[in-house]
Amino acid sequence: MKEVIFLTGGAQRVGLYCTEQLQQQGYQLVISYRTRHSSIDALEQAGVICLQADLTQLESLQQLVTTVRQHTPRLRAIIHNASDWNKDQQLQPDNLSQQLLQDAQVFDAMMAIHARAPYLLNRALLPLLQAQLAGGGAADIIQISDFVATVGSEKHQAYAASKAALENLTFSEARLLAPHIKVNAIAPALLMFNQGDDDEYKQKALAKSLLGIEPGPGEVLATIQYLLQSRYITGRVLALDGGRQLKLP
C-alpha cells in the first residue's frame, strides 16, 4: 500500500510541483485546492485525489477532514502549503470605521489560512498520523512558512504575523507530538517569479540574497524529502533564503 501524503494548496506553483513530483516518486497524494485550475484534470488523471476546500471557512474545513478520512485510514505526512498574500490596506484617516473593517478582514483571512487551518487540521487528522505509526511507519507534519515571519514586512504586516504564528505552532506541536511525530517548518524567501514581473523588479529581488538566483520550487521539494527521511529533526524552521538574512541592513 502506498504511503499517503496530504498537502494543502496543491494545484498551483510550488504546491503543484511538489504534488506532481511526490506522486511520481510513489506516494499517494491527497491535496486540497480552493479554485479548480486546469492543472486539476492532469493531477486526477495521474491518480492524485483532489479535494476542493476553502480553508478560511469552518464548514469547508470540517467537510475536508471528513473526506480525507474517507479516502485513507492513515497519513505519512501532512504538508501545509496553502497560502494567500493579502496586502495591507491603505490607511484611511478620514474613514476610520471603513479602515478598521478592511484591516480586520485582511488580518482574519491571513490568520485563518496560515494559522487556524493548520492548527485545526493537525488536530483533526492526528489519528491518521498515529495509525501510520501503529503500522510501523514514520509520520511528519511540515508547514510552509516564509522568510518574513522573522523580520516582518512593511506592506504585508498581517501576512507576516500569520506566518510567525504558524512557526510558533510548529514549536508547540513538536513538543506535544514528540518523540513519535516530527513537526517542522520551511521558510522560503524568493523561489520563483510570477508572470508579468518586470526585469527591474526581478533584479531588485535577486539582489536581496547572497546567492542572487531564482532557485525554483525544487528547493522546497528537496527540503520536504530531507525532512521526511530524517529521524532526528523536529521543532525547527529550515530557511530557504539564499543567505538573505546576511544582507539585511
Q: Known catalytic residues?
A: 159
E-strand ranges in the chain read 4-8, 28-33, 49-52, 77-80, 139-144, 181-188, 237-240
Count how many Cα atoms sit within 13 Å of the Cα of residue 42 in the half-sphere of its side chain: 11
Q: d(Cα 28, Cα 218) in Å, to the nearest integer?
A: 19
3-state secondary structure of 80: strand
Paired strand residues for 184: 142
DSSP codes of every residue in 130-145: HHHHHTT--EEEEEE-
Q: Which residues pair with 51 in a beta bridge?
A: 32
- Which residue matches cell numbers 499517503? 4
Q: Which amino acid is at 46?
A: A
Give the three-state DSSP class for 160: helix
Q: Are 156 and 107 in contact (CB under 8 A)?
A: no
* Closest to 141 in 3D by CA, of 58, 249, 224: 224
Contacts within 8 Å (CB) and 24+ apart, 50-55:
50/10, 50/11, 55/8, 55/82, 55/112, 55/113, 55/117
